[in-house]
């Protein structure tokens, strides 16, 4: 999606350690007009696919997912919570995700009543790198018996392999900006 790629080129910052900062428009300050266009684009890409619900993970996915839902007949958005500790009361699907950014493992939960067996789900998130967070959401979706129709991703760091691993497992991954290489020394970014 040229609009997002251009924005990343203009306002994104490549930092050492394969970090791409897009906090000016995507995940700290949110450009609502951009989010709306992104939602429109995912709706175009998934046109004809049954989507009953959008699943995302707090915090940065929420705004994007809510704005996107408008373009999917206002389906409900469920966001997985990063819990302090897993309350194993049986009312929640839970899994554990390792975050390279935060260098630690954290539990993620979704209330069982918010994912119903047989529902068709679109998973939306701001970033896809190694795929740990999305694999955690997939694990929850498998536990719930929902049908994952695909992934709507804003920025995929293609060189980190998480997206291709999902594609090889047969999942549809629609990344609006897919980065082939990026370089912190000359701050260059090349898209697929």
Binding site for a copy of itself (CB under 8 A): 23-24, 28-33, 35-36, 58-59, 62-63, 65-67, 69-70, 74-79, 81, 84, 102, 110-111, 113-114
Q: How far apart are alpha carbons 178 and 113 in whole angstroms?
A: 34
The closest alpha carbon to 45, from 170, 163, 128, 154, belongs to: 154
Q: Are 33 and 161 in contact (CB under 8 A)?
A: no
Closest to a copy of itself by CB, 60 or 175 = 60
Annotation-wise, does 27 bind a ligand?
A: yes
CB of 158 to a copy of itself, least distance (A): 27
What's the number of CA atoms in the CB half-sphere (13 Å) around residue 40?
A: 9
Closest to a copy of itself by CB, 95 or 178 = 95
CA quadruple 55, 25, 103, 89: dihedral sign: negative
Closest to a copy of itself by CB, 105 or 190 = 105
Please report, in range form, the residues annotated as the binding site for 5-phospho-alpha-D-ribose 1-diphosphate.
129-133
């Amino acid at each position: 999606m040229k609009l997002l790629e251009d924005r990343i080129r203009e306002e994104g910052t490549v930092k050492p350690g394969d970090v791409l900062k897009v906090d000016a428009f995507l995940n700290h300050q949110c450009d609502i007009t951009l989010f709306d266009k992104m939602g429109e684009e995912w709706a175009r890409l998934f046109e004809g696919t049954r989507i009953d619900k959008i699943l995302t993970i707090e915090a940065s996915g929420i705004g994007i997912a809510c704005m996107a839902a408008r373009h999917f007949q206002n389906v409900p958005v469920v966001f997985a919570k990063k819990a302090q500790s897993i309350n194993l009361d049986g009312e929640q699907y839970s899994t554990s995700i390792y975050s390279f950014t935060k260098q630690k493992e954290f539990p993620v939960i979704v209330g069982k009543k918010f994912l119903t067996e047989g529902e068709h789900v679109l998973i939306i998130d701001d970033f896809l790198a190694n795929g740990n967070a999305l694999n955690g959401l997939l694990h929850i979706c498998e536990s719930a018996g929902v049908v994952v129709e695909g992934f709507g991703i804003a920025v995929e760091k293609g060189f980190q392999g998480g997206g291709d691993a999902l594609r090889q497992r047969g999942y549809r991954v629609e990344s609006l900006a897919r980065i082939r290489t990026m370089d912190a020394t000359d701050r260059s970014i090349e898209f697929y």
